[in-house]
Amino acid sequence: MDKNRIFNPGGDDAVETRSIIKGNTTGLFNLNAVRYPWAKSMYQLMIGNFWVPEKVGGLSEDAIMYRGLAPAEQRAYRGMLSFLIFLDSIQTVNLPNFSNYITSPEVNLLLSIQSFQEAIHSQSYATILETVVDAREREGIYYFWRDDEILKKRNESVGDIYQAFQDNPNEKNFFRALIGNFLLESVYFYNGFAFFDNLVYASKMIATGRMISYIRRDELTHVVLFVNIIKEIRREFPHVYDEKVFLEMFKMAIEQEIVWADHIIGDDIPGITKQTTRLYTQWLANSRLEMLGIAPMFPEATMNPYKHLEAMADNNSEKTNFFESTVTNYTQSSSMNGSWDF
């Protein structure tokens, strides 16, 4: 696969000739006529989600609460933050490279917004660490993986997929990087999110939970973005889409997520057990597969064991419902003319 040219005078920006990858555009962002209507809707919502961590107050109270957490809660707090920091860091670096092979300007625009949001998330974690934990602990949280072999393997598994595509950008590696992005956004964050929700439910670390809720709202848009990219690849380039590879990667990701959550949380945190971790991760997996029209991988996992935490998880129900029920089930159109703003 070839990278997009910065400026391609011989390109063709006509809507009917555009494609999600392997297109021949000029490099101009002509957003008055788009091929993918879902991108217009997502643009409005992603821009509408704008926030900055400095506006989220209360972290000084969390600093007092943190010192009162049980040792197991403090360890999980540090470990989960470390993994979330890694995920957003690697996405900020990876997304521009991935976008170089997307040939729809409206989708490139969304990936640019996503990259910006991931950078905001990194700043958010820095704000949490600066305020909540002692300066002597911060370095250990950023580099928790250096002393934790399970976390190191998790980070390497993500990094290796992205690095393979950067080193050898062929169709096979592109597809694996695409699924790697989807798994990161749709699965890897969520046991961490559940841990922080669980603390808030127990009236602990309230401001950290509020910050995480804003991050989660952004991540939901990223999930839907990659769901739609995968759908377009499947429709336009069926020879690139490989469901066997997808399911193999997906199953491995779920297993890794359960191992990690059991390792960092286990049965030591009130409200979370190894059983609920497994049920939640499998239930989440089924819901993500459903977004792509794929049968459940874990038919026995029919309920969210953290149902009582959903009210805190949904800090923007109107947008969440829109994404879950509308964007992922849009009606495909070959073109959509008209203003970008509506």
**Per-domain residue ranges for the chain?**
58-317
Q: What is the largest CA-CA distance in the chain?
A: 64
Arithmetic mean of pLDDT, 106-128: 96
Q: What is the pLDDT of residues 28-47, one digit of tens each?
A: 988 888 999 999 999 999 99
CA atoms within 13 A on the CB side of 269: 32
Rounded to whole angstroms, the Cα distance separating 300 from 148 reads: 32
Q: What is the pLDDT of residues 140-174, one digit of tens each?
A: 999 999 999 999 999 999 999 999 999 999 999 99
Mean pLDDT across the chain:
91
Asked if 55 contacts 118 with a C-beta cutoff of 8 angstroms, the reply is no
Q: Please give the residue that has the higher pLDDT: either 342 or 164.
A: 164
pLDDT band at 118 (very low <50, low <70, confident <90, very high): very high
Rounded to whole angstroms, the Cα distance separating 271 from 70 reads: 14
Arithmetic mean of pLDDT, 93-101: 96
pLDDT (0 to 100) of residue 66: 97
3-class DSSP assignment, residue 139: helix
pLDDT (0 to 100) of residue 313: 61
pLDDT (0 to 100) of residue 340: 43
Asked if 124 contacts 215 with a C-beta cutoff of 8 angstroms, the reply is yes
Question: What is the Cα 302 distance to its own chain's centre?
Answer: 23
Distances (CA, A) of 205 to 59, 190, 196, 200, 311: 8, 17, 8, 6, 17
Rounded to whole angstroms, the Cα distance separating 286 from 265 reads: 22
Q: Which of 281, 207, 249, 192 is nearest to 58 (CA)?
A: 207
**pTM to 2 decimals?**
0.91
Q: What are phi and psi of 225, to 5 degrees?
A: -55, -50
Return left, alpha or beta for 338; rule: phi > 0 is left, psi -120 to 50 is alpha, else beta: left
**Rg of the Cα trace of the chain?**
20
Q: Tokens standing for 134?
A: 């002692």
pLDDT band at 57 (very low <50, low <70, confident <90, very high): confident
Rounded to whole angstroms, the Cα distance separating 79 from 260 reads: 10
Rounded to whole angstroms, the Cα distance separating 81 from 334 reads: 42
Asked if 70 contacts 198 with a C-beta cutoff of 8 angstroms, the reply is no
CATH match for 58-317 among 3.40.50.850, 1.10.620.20, 3.10.310.30, 3.50.50.60:
1.10.620.20
**Catalytic site positions:** 125
| pLDDT for 52 beyond 60 | yes
| pLDDT for 81 beyond 70 | yes
Rounded to whole angstroms, the Cα distance separating 91 from 85 reads: 10
Asked if 15 contacts 335 with a C-beta cutoff of 8 angstroms, the reply is yes
Rounded to whole angstroms, the Cα distance separating 55 from 57 reads: 6
Q: What are phi and psi of 34, to 5 degrees?
A: -125, 150
